Amino acid sequence: MIDLSLLPYALNLAAIYALMAISISMIWSSIGMLNLAHGATFAVSGYAAWNLSIIFKPIILSIFGKTLIAKLLMGFVLISSAMVAGAMFGLIIYLLAFLPIHDKPNYPVRSLIITLAINIATIQILLFMFGARNKGLPKIFGFGKFEIFEIPIRYDQAGTIISTIIILGLMLSWLKFSRMGIEIRAMMQNPEGAAYSGISRRTTAIPVLMITGALAGVSAALLSQTIFVSPTSGSIPLIKGLTIALLGGLGNVPGAMIGAVLIGFLEAIVGSIQQRYVMFSTFIFIIIVLIIRPRGIGGLLDDTRE
């Protein structure tokens, strides 16, 4: 009998992984870049949120005291600062890894290498500036837990799950209905056709990288409710996001979501038995899936398109 209290934990993990995996998947399918600097975006926005929270915490406390408004305001400051920092970092990635080489030979491999270099350099620069010590962000959702159907749920878990659902819903509907979202989806489905209908890859890449950077910022702010901010805090979410994006089939948003939920549950279950085997079991699971379905869970679509 599986302990039902694992459920919120698994969903919490799945929410964060889904945020990362969907961004990576989106970048890959729209502009053909495997963004390995996503972990760096994660860490940078975590640090930005931490810095701003230090500046704003005394101000908010002195004006509003310990009221609900202060808490909401604090949460707003945290998430928005992380989002803005993530978007700005996305712009840096655009300027370094996309703009100079997007029409040059061997672009996919070269952009992968550049984003990898950005990731390494950023982690080291953060280490250099802030040191290796973990920083704790203020808790937006507060401490404590409540019960639904006799399943205990911590406030931060519930907050993360709900805000992820809201943000993903907002983003997916933006992708579905806004003009720019339609352009991005056109590029994801058929880059050549999009180019023929006058959609510029160069200008569409800016919102893609900024939005995905902002998503990484959100996931940094949310995950930092559970763990700490540190220079290398982005690498585990990056690897997880990457593996889940691949597991779901690169460029496939529903596949990435299914993958995130599967891996979240797997990790929650394995983690409750023995924390050490989490990575191990994840990779074994992914290897099995890849051997059965060489293009990931949602990869069938790619085959038929070709």
Query: Residues in the site for other proteins, rule: CB under 8 A?
Result: 34, 96, 100-101, 104-106, 109-110, 113-114, 116-118, 120-121, 124-125, 127-128, 235, 242-243, 246, 250, 276-277, 279-280, 283-284, 286-287, 290-291, 294-296
Q: Taking the alpha carbons of 63, 67, 73, 74 in that order, is the dihedral positive or negative?
A: positive
Q: Least separation, in Å, of the C-beta of 294 and other proteins?
A: 5
3-state SS of 152-192 is EEEHHHHHHHHHHHHHHHHHHHHHHHCHHHHHHHHHHHCHH
- Describe the crossing of helices 6-31 and 235-247 by its angle, rounded to 10 degrees: 70
The smaller minimum CB distance to other proteins, of residues 70 and 269, is found at 269
Q: Which residues pair with 135 in a beta bridge?
A: 229
Number of residues written out for the chain? 306
Q: Least separation, in Å, of the C-beta of 46 and other proteins?
A: 19
The smaller minimum CB distance to other proteins, of residues 52 and 112, is found at 112
Q: Least separation, in Å, of the C-beta of 178 and other proteins?
A: 30
Q: Least separation, in Å, of the C-beta of 81 and other proteins?
A: 25
Q: Least separation, in Å, of the C-beta of 96 and other proteins?
A: 7
Q: Least separation, in Å, of the C-beta of 124 and other proteins?
A: 5
**Tokens 């069938």 correspond to what residue?**
300
The smaller minimum CB distance to other proteins, of residues 110 and 185, is found at 110
Shortest CA distance to 37 belongs to which of 96, 81, 79?
Answer: 96
Q: What are phi and psi of 110, to 5 degrees?
A: -65, -40
The smaller minimum CB distance to other proteins, of residues 146 and 277, is found at 277
192-230 exposure pattern, b = at least 16 Cβ within 10 A, e = fewer: eebeeeebebeebbbbbbbbbbbbbbbbbbbbbbeeebb
What's the CA gap between 301 and 100, in Å, rounded?
A: 31
What's the CA gap between 250 and 216, in Å, rounded?
A: 18
The smaller minimum CB distance to other proteins, of residues 18 and 250, is found at 250
The smaller minimum CB distance to other proteins, of residues 128 and 143, is found at 128
The smaller minimum CB distance to other proteins, of residues 28 and 265, is found at 28
Q: Least separation, in Å, of the C-beta of 198 and other proteins?
A: 28
